[in-house]
Amino acid sequence: MVRAGTSVDNIDVDYCSRRGIFVANCPLEIANAISELTIGLILAIDRRIAEGVNMLKHGNWNAEMFRRCKGLKGRTLGIIGFESAGQ
């Protein structure tokens, strides 16, 4: 069994080992995807994209709410953890 991910914490490795099932993961395979998704989610949160979509679905719009979005310019983002995705 191969897990295309950063860990095998959602796989019962002991169970697999007792049954002769080899377990491996490929953390570097998805590091770029994780990093890109993280940046996308940061932007989506700042720009309140999910809220805007929900408002539009209900026929509402609050332009003032979006004018108050700060954006990333002049702000500092930090990386917590420095495994393959952080690098």
Answer whether residue 83 shows pLDDT above 80: no
Give, as one character, the DSSP assignment of residue 36.
H
Amino acid at 25: N
What residue ranges do the domains of the chain occupy? Answer: 2-67
The mean predicted confidence, pLDDT, of the chain is 84
26: which residues sit within 8 A by CB, 6+ positions away?
2, 3, 4, 5
Q: What is the pTM of this model?
A: 0.62
State how far Cα 65 lies from the chain centre: 24
Calpha distance 12→14 (Å, rounded): 6
pLDDT digits (tens, 9 = 90+) for 48-73: 999 999 999 999 998 888 888 888 88
